[in-house]
Structure 1
Amino acid sequence: MKKWWQKTLVLSVALLTFGLITPNHEIWDVLENGQASNNSQSSNIQANDQPKTQVSAVVEESISTEEETPRQSIESILFAAKEQSYIKFGSRIAPVIGDEFEERIFPKIEEAIEQTLTRMDDESIKYLAISNRPSQNGEKIFHITNEETGKDLIRFHVRTDKRPQDGFFYNFHYHTAEDHFVAHHTLGDIYWSKNTPPKWLS
């Protein structure tokens, strides 16, 4: 009679849940033995809890390893630097000077950033941020700042120069905190044309 009752129970569970839930085999142990011992229940509870603690330990370990390394921090700053440069250029200037900027100017920007940041300790690099508002009327492309102190570390600028008979050039340069932003470190020039260039961000 018990076997018939077990088969009926399995069939009814399967029909009611469309086969999505299968009966636990512990049910049969309880039915056959009459009742489960407290020891087996406690061991089952402990067995069920153990994987959860292992999973949480793995999650905690992956979170701790997901902290940005100094190299990743530098890479994310370089990515943001290029992004801010193109925001500064806008949709009218970028198509004209973009290729030359990529070939000649940006590699020098990368070099300047890497030389500056590699002189810093790993802890300080974690607190670096890049400004996200290029100037429309001024020279500012972006600044790299220490978020803890709020002080700029390095400033990247572009100036529009008008040269008699030659036309307009974009002069890319940077300033560093090491000399209190006095020295003008040239990255290079890109020729625009003899016509007045559009405004930045346009």
Structure 2
Amino acid sequence: MYEIEGDSMKKWWQKTLVISVALLTFGLITPNHEIWDALENGQASNNSQGSNIQTNNQPNTQISAVVEQEISTEDELPQQTIESILFAAKEQSYIKFGSRIAPVIGDEFEDRIFPKIEEAIQQTLTRMDNESIKYLSISNQPSQNGEKIFHITNEEDGQDLIRFHVRTEKRPQDGFYYNFHYHTVEDQFVAHHTLGDIYWSKNTPPKWLS
């Protein structure tokens, strides 16, 4: 190991490190203000030590601080995974609705149902560790004749974690309703967790995906 002398060279090394992190993660992790602040603070701390940098092991302290910042940044990846799942969840819902149902129930779905879907997904994922979240996937084939909208699966073991469904119900005197609900692995998908109902009309609704 050797020491690079001069403030400009040290700043160049620090910025190179952050840029390298961004390149190695293919843009998934971008240098944020916290990383830059940590690097600047580390630089100021080292400069204040003067000639005692080597005797007080300051280079090792600086490296540790940088590594901690990299780990903290990597922790953002599960949040990106969650956001991707939420985006795909809405996309699969509208695929399920199709072009005939979506214009009729879309606004009410956005206002009342999807926020509860988001909440159910968030509650499920917060009980998982970051490493497991990285292996989650969402199904991309809503059922045309059945209730399935989408399922969230752990690709490591192929186990579904949570299943989101919608059921068409005909209620006497009222007409047709869409009942949105979900099932979870915690009770082996037995319990029916209601998200809400959306009224269609007294006329028979179109088929899903139509």
TM-score normalised by L of structure 1: 0.70
Q: Which digits, 9 at most, give the CA deviation of each residue in 1:109-166, with x for residues without a partner? A: 0000000001100000000000000000000000000011111000000000000110
Please say if 1:152 is aligned against 2:160. yes
Please say if 1:139 is aligned against 2:153. no
Name 2:108's counterpart in structure 1: 100
Secondary structure (helix, strand or coil) at the match of 1:195 reads coil
**Deviation at 1:63?**
3.4
Please say if 1:193 is aligned against 2:197. no
Secondary structure (helix, strand or coil) at the match of 1:62 reads helix
User: What does residue range 1-202 of structure 1 map to in structure 2 within 5 Å?
Assistant: 60-65=20-25, 66=28, 69-202=77-210
Distance in 2, matches of 1:107 and 1:55, equals 40
Structure possessing the higher radius of gyration over alpha carbons: 1
Distance in 2, matches of 1:184 and 1:137, equals 19
Which aligned runs of 4 or more in structure 1 are off by greater than 4 angstroms?
Answer: 54-60
Paired residues, number: 150
**Deviation at 1:75?**
0.6
Identity of aligned residues (%): 83
**Deviation at 1:64?**
3.8
Q: Which amino acid aligns with 1:95?
A: P
Q: Which digits, 9 at most, give the CA deviation of each residue in 1:91-126, with x for residues without a partner? A: 000000000000000000000000000110000000
Distance in 1, matches of 2:21 and 2:196, equals 46
Q: Which amino acid aligns with 1:148?
A: E
Secondary structure (helix, strand or coil) at the match of 2:166 reads strand
Q: Superposition RMSD on alpha carbons, in Å?
A: 1.9
Question: Is there any run of 5+ residues in structure 2 with no aligned partner, and where?
Answer: 1-13, 30-75
Distance in 2, matches of 1:117 and 1:62, equals 26
